[in-house]
Each structure stands twice: as C-alpha cells, then as structure tokens.
Amino acid sequence: MTGKKNLRAQEIAIENRLPIIYLVDSAGVYLPMQDDLPDKEHFGRIFRNNAIMSSMGITQIAAVMGSCVAGGAYLPIMSDEALIVEKTGSIFLAGSCLVKAAIGEDIDNETLGGATTHSEISGVTDYKCKDDADCLKKIRAIMDKLGKPKDAGFSREKPAAPKADQKEIYGIIPTERAKPYDMREVIARLVDDSDFTEYKEGFGQSIITAYARIDGWAVGIVANQRKVVKSKKGEMQFGGVIYSDSADKATRFIANCNQRRTIRWSSCRTSPASWWAAAASTAASSRTARNW
C-alpha cells in the first residue's frame, strides 16, 4: 500500500507537471513480504518515475528527516535537491548493526551516513538542517525561487534593497587582488534583503553556490570563495582554485538552474590550471549523466 501511494502521487505530479516534495523517513521494503508487491506497480517503479520527472523538468525536492535505508535511500539521492536533518537523518544501504554483522566493523549511524558525512564529505545531500523546522524553512526558500511555467521558469517579486551596506564592498575586496576575502560578505551586499540560500554549503567550499533574488529576480549564484578553507577531510583549499569537489558542486548546481530555468549569475576569478581541472571534472560528470 505504501508503494502504491508513492506511485500515485508521482503519477499526479507527472500528469499535471507539479513539483513534488518528499519528506523521507524509510527503512525500505519489508523484505519478508517483498514478494507481495505487485509486478507492474512494484517499489522500483518509484525510481523510474524519479528519472522520468527529471527528464521532464519537474522539480523534485527530498528532505531526509529520518533513517533512510536501502530502497528508502535511493529516492532522495535521485531527486533534484536533497536536504538532511542533523542527528536524525541518515542515508545508507545498510545500518551500523548490519555492517558489524557483515564485516565486524564498529561504526555509528551518524558517521556511516549522517548529515555531516553526506553534506560535507560525500556531497550526496545539498543542505544540512539543524532540525525539522529548519528543514521545512529551507524547502520553502527553494520553492520560493521557482517560476510559473507560463513565465518560462523566471520568477520576479517586489525588489528589496540589501540589508547590508553596499558601500562596504569597497572595504571588503582588497586592492591587492591576491589577498583573501570572504565572498559571502560581498554577496550579502548585492542580493535582495541580503538573503541567500546556499547549495551544498559544507561541500566544495572553494566555490559558493546559492539561490537568491537580485532586483526581485530569482537567480542562481556561482562565485569563487576567495579565502582559504579547510574541507571535512582535512584538506586545505586555497581561494581562487577550483578543486574536484568544487567543480562537481558547481556542475550539479548549474544543471539544477538549467532544470528550473533560473537566471544564473557568476563571479569567478581562478587560476588557469584550475580551469583545466574543472573542465575535466565537468566532462566526467557529463559522461556519467549520459551513461546513467
């Protein structure tokens, strides 16, 4: 019955081209009864529908608000954007108890597939939320930037001036361009209400990707982070260099903007060598997408 309800919701979304939001907390199929699932409307058809909706440009947003195991883990990572709640959300094919039984390794669920692991190390999820309320707030912020189909995806509301003083930009960006600075401070002085929602904030930190509004228009922002950052793996990353995780993050974000037909604004200043690395990573990502 659970599988049928999921499939029916997806069918309605496909027929009416409606964005769909998944609030996910699933242990997957109950294995002793998996043969009871009907052949055509079986659980795996959900993932087929994920791919179909993606090809149709129908927005899919998944919030991992509990433990998502096996089949329950496929749906959020096949969605366009995935959020995960700290301490309660997790994604893995098998939990820590099964890992212990299978290979004898002791590991906790948070390290195995929790919010920090997937938002800052693997990059599987795009937003890390402190609790359920914060997760729902971020979903509203993402949905706010979607345009109506008749407007070709473009969305505009009443413009608002940045809350931060725009003139301070002259003091934030150093005269010697080799010196580091925080690009978030610059963005806050350019976007409406100084409000922006970062995509994969803790992953690929040498590039900032975010949704915001400029002069009322919904935009996707791609900008170099110009200060030195430290990844969750302990790697020091220098501003102005595009690393492999940053290139992957930017590629996925640009693909999302194209999917949603969101205006894209870029602010990039990088070393030539890093552009070659980014191009190679982007090409690899494109090949992977085509093969998939």
Q: Are residues 108 and 188 in the same domain?
A: no
Domain for residue 212, yes or no? yes
Does some domain include residue 92?
A: yes
- Residue 226 is predicted with a pLDDT of 87
**Amino acid in position 223:** A
Q: What is the mean pLDDT of the chain?
A: 84
Residues 274, 172 within the same domain:
yes
Strands 81-85 and 127-129: parallel
* Percentage above 90 pLDDT, the chain: 48
Task: Write down the pLDDT at residue 117.
Answer: 93
Poorest-pLDDT segment among 107-121, 149-163, 172-186: 149-163
Instruction: Report the range of poorest mean pLDDT among 91-100, 145-154, 230-239, 253-262.
Output: 145-154
Same domain for 131 and 22?
A: yes
Q: Do 172 and 130 belong together in one domain?
A: no
Q: What is the pLDDT of residue 287?
A: 38
Range of 228's domain? 151-291
Residue 120 and residue 174 in one domain: no
User: Does residue 6 sit in the same domain as residue 117?
Assistant: yes
Residue 208: pLDDT over 80: yes
List the single range of 18-32, 63-77, 132-146 with lowest mean pLDDT.
18-32
Residues 131 and 157 occupy one common structural domain: no
Point out the domain boundary residue: 111, 137, 163.
137
Residues 158 and 100 in one domain: no
* Domain annotation covers residue 187: yes
**Confidence at residue 36, expressed as pLDDT on a 0 to 100 scale:** 67
Q: What is the pLDDT of residues 234-280, one digit of tens each?
A: 888 888 788 889 999 999 999 888 888 788 888 766 554 444 445 45
Q: Determine the pLDDT at residue 152.
A: 57
In a domain, 144, yes or no: no
Given a cut of 90, whether residue 20 has pLDDT beyond it is yes
Is the pLDDT confidence value at 231 over 70? Answer: yes
Based on the fold, state whether residues 10 and 97 are members of the same structural domain.
yes
Report if residue 142 sits inside a domain. Answer: no
Instruction: Say which CATH number the domain at 255 has.
Output: 3.90.226.10
Kindly state whether residue 145 falls inside one of the protein's structural domains.
Answer: no
C-alpha to C-alpha distance for 208 and 63, rounded to whole angstroms: 22
Residue 100 has pLDDT above 50, yes or no: yes
pLDDT tier, 285 (very low <50, low <70, confident <90, very high otherwise) = very low
